[in-house]
């Protein structure tokens, strides 16, 4: 087990410049999401994909105006760097599951080769992480967000309807078991390969509120940070309630005993661009909008 201070300093080279790992940087450092990954391999009950079948893991479920193709990425980033000299982080956060789309890897290769100075970041549900952790490390991905909403199958089955894995759909508890196992195994593997890991957790008061501390305990040695975000009641969870600010803050306090908590998340869209204090995203033609 690694002492907290050692863990913090081991990763300081990344966390010093990444706004999603350092609240103080939210209005100083720019980052962009490349919405190249539309498909998802699990079915979260709160997630409605808003263009075709898209949605996203990391963020306000699933809004990206268009899906970018890997071949558009180089030009897009070159233009953006001219306008945004403080751009430091390039993230792929869906809008589906990053690891389930080959375009993610094509994009990472382009960014790695053409823009070696930008920090590459990824968010995923973790189902395919045991398979791809090494590939991500080889592509110089430094930071990884894994969304974990429960570590007990009997709870996760009420959050995720099914999991598509190795050519088969696994429903209910059976699917939940596979997802949890792969998340734990994948995060450990990524951690051993030197990636800095953030656990995102959606707080759903009626389902996982009293259980989230178990998630923090499970990842206390392998993750760097936890980001607990409130449910936005949508889709099959539209009749559930959002947590109150007091509930969010109580759960964060409980979890903080095991994992440092990120408290400034504003649930960016999958195509978010710019400083986190701004609210820009891509327009229909790939332009920035305010």
User: Which residues contribute to the site for ligand SF4 (CB under 6 A)?
Assistant: 20, 31, 33, 40, 42-44, 47, 55-59, 61, 89, 91, 93-94, 96-97, 121-123, 125, 143, 145, 227, 265-268, 276
DSSP 89: E
Contact 120, 111 (CB under 8 A): yes
Rounded to the nearest whole angstrom, what is the least distance from the CB of residue 267 to ligand SF4 in the complex? 5
**Least distance between ligand SF4 and beta carbon 133 (Å):** 16
Do 115 and 88 form a contact (C-beta atoms < 8 A)? Answer: no
CB of 124 to ligand SF4, least distance (A): 8
Q: Please, which residue, 7 or 237, has the CB nearer to ligand SF4?
A: 237
Phi, psi angles (nearest 5°) of residue 118: -80, 140
The DSSP H or E segment spanning 200 is strand 196-203
Nearest-approach distance from CB 121 to ligand SF4, in angstroms: 3
Q: Are strands 280-282 and 288-289 parallel, antiparallel or unpaired?
A: antiparallel
Task: Centre a 10 Å sphere on the Cβ of residue 36 and count the other Cβ atoms it contains.
Answer: 27
**Toward ligand SF4, which CB reaches closer, 218 or 275?**
275
Do 181 and 192 form a contact (C-beta atoms < 8 A)?
no
Whichever of 189 and 228 has its CB closer to ligand SF4, that residue is 228
Tell me whether residue 218 or residue 227 sits nearer to ligand SF4 (CB atom): 227
> How near is the Cβ of 42 to ligand SF4 at its closest, in Å?
5
């Amino acid at each position: 087990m690694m002492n907290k201070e050692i863990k913090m300093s081991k990763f300081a080279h990344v966390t010093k410049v990444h706004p999603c790992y350092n609240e103080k940087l939210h209005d100083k450092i720019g980052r962009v999401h490349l919405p190249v990954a539309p498909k998802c391999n699990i079915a979260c009950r709160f997630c409605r994909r808003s263009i075709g079948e898209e949605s996203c893991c990391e963020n306000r479920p699933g809004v990206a105006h268009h899906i970018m193709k890997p071949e558009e990425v180089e030009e897009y980033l070159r233009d953006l760097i001219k306008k945004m000299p403080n751009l430091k982080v390039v993230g792929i956060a869906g809008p589906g599951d990053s690891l389930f789309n080959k375009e993610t890897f094509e994009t990472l290769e382009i960014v790695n080769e053409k823009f070696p100075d930008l920090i590459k970041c990824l968010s995923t549900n973790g189902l395919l992480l045991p398979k791809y952790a090494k590939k991500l490390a080889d592509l110089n991905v430094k930071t990884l967000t894994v969304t974990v909403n429960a570590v007990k199958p009997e709870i996760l089955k009420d959050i995720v309807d099914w999991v598509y894995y190795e050519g088969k759909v696994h429903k209910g508890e059976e699917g939940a078991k596979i997802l949890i196992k792969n998340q734990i195994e994948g995060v450990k593997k990524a951690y051993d390969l030197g990636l800095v890991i953030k656990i995102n957790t959606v707080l759903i008061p009626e389902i996982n509120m009293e259980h989230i501390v178990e998630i923090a305990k499970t990842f206390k040695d392998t993750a760097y940070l936890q980001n607990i975000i409130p449910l936005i009641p949508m889709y099959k969870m539209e009749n559930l309630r959002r947590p109150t600010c007091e509930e969010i803050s109580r759960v964060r306090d409980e979890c903080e005993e095991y994992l440092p908590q990120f408290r400034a998340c504003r649930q960016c869209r999958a195509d978010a661009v710019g400083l986190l204090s701004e609210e820009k995203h891509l327009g229909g033609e790939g332009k920035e909008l305010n």
